[in-house]
Amino acid sequence: MNIAIWMLGGAIVGWFGYSVLGFNEARGKMVSVVIGAIGGLVGGNLVAPMFTAAPAPGDFNFLAMVFAAAVAAAFVAIGNLVHNRWGV
**What is the tens place of the pLDDT at every residue in 60-88?**
889 999 999 999 999 999 999 999 999 88
Structure confidence by residue, pLDDT tens digits, 1-37: 889 999 999 999 999 999 999 988 888 999 999 999 9
Number of domains in the chain: 1
Give residue 77's domain range.
2-86
> CB atoms < 10 A from the CB of 63, how many?
12
Considering the entire predicted model, what is its pTM? Answer: 0.92
